[in-house]
Amino acid sequence: MMDKQQIAERYRAIQDVICSGLEALDGGATFAEELWQRDGGGGGRTRIIQQGNVIERGGVNFSAVHGVLPAAVKQAFKVDDEQFFATGVSIVIHPYNPFVPIIHMNIRYFELNDNVRWFGGGIDLTPHYIQPEDASYFHRSLKSVCDAYSPAFYPAFKAHADRYFYIKHRQETRGIGGVFYDRLTPEKAAVPWSDIFEFSCGLGNAFVPIYSELVGRNRHKTFTEQQKQWQYLRRGRYVEFNLVYDAGTKFGLETNGRIESILMSLPPQAQWVYDFKAAPGSAEAFTLSMLRQGVDWLEQ
């Protein structure tokens, strides 16, 4: 098991690789970086890319923070220790074209002491328009990363993503899911610490190849103003999930995180339309029909 500083350095390097890959993919915009320090301990690098050829706005954040764990978080984690360390990389990309999906990734490590520590994270995809062939490619790619470490990972983490990325008040999933894991330890994973860490890095390194393929398939598709308005509605659902349910957002706010970095996941523009109904038989209606748990995307 690598120590926490070595984990942080690997994650920092993954941020660099992903930013370089996204700049090459976009072909126009570059990342602006802001270094920040957290009151209480640690800091990070917030990198924002916007108004590019493909990406309307995106963020690739790295952080390594430490300090006193707030009482509310201690209670939620059911722990007594106060001094925590957390490091990770978090990504959200909002594209211009409605046929290019929103993508999110997070890999993270949390430690209180030698007995209380874990890895978490995952990747999920939120298409504005669900295209089964793209969904199948996405899930097959994630399964390949998972299978390199354990055949049990993909089915367990896919089911976890279905449960986690669910907007209860809408009774729909945020998108087509992906893989998600939390508080992963050797006892839960049935693999050693080193494999869990390498798995998390494997997800990080898979991000650019997977998203580049999806962007390449869809970036040049033409779209109408009506389809753009639909994109804004789907972004609204994304906002609802992140502000109401997202654990990372809550943890960041409760641990006095940097607000601009925490809310970089929000799109530059979104809409809410009262009692919207998709036209029967439309691509929008098909997308809504597929926003449910338990879909076997590998067979699409």
How far is the CA of 207 from the CAs of 19, 24, 60, 123, 276, in angstroms? 11, 14, 11, 8, 33
- The identity of residue 203, as a single letter, is L
Query: Do residues 240 and 20 make contact, with C-beta atoms less than 8 angstroms apart?
Result: no
Catalytic hit among 104, 139, 160, 220: 104
The answer to whether 56 and 267 are in contact (CB under 8 A) is yes
Spatial separation of the C-alpha atoms in residues 116 and 186, rounded to whole Å: 12
Note whether 107 and 14 are within 8 A (CB): yes
State how far the Cα of 280 lies from the Cα of 131, in Å rounded to an integer: 17
Closest C-alpha to 7, from 255, 201, 202, 252: 201
- The DSSP code for 116 is S
Distance (Å, rounded) from C-alpha 278 to C-alpha 171? 16
Q: What is d(CA 115, CA 95) in angstroms, rounded to the nearest whole number?
A: 41
Q: Residue type for 260, please?
A: E
104 is catalytic: yes
| Whole-angstrom distance, CA of residue 31 vs CA of residue 262 | 17
Residue keyed to tokens 């520590």 = 117
- Catalytically active residues are 104
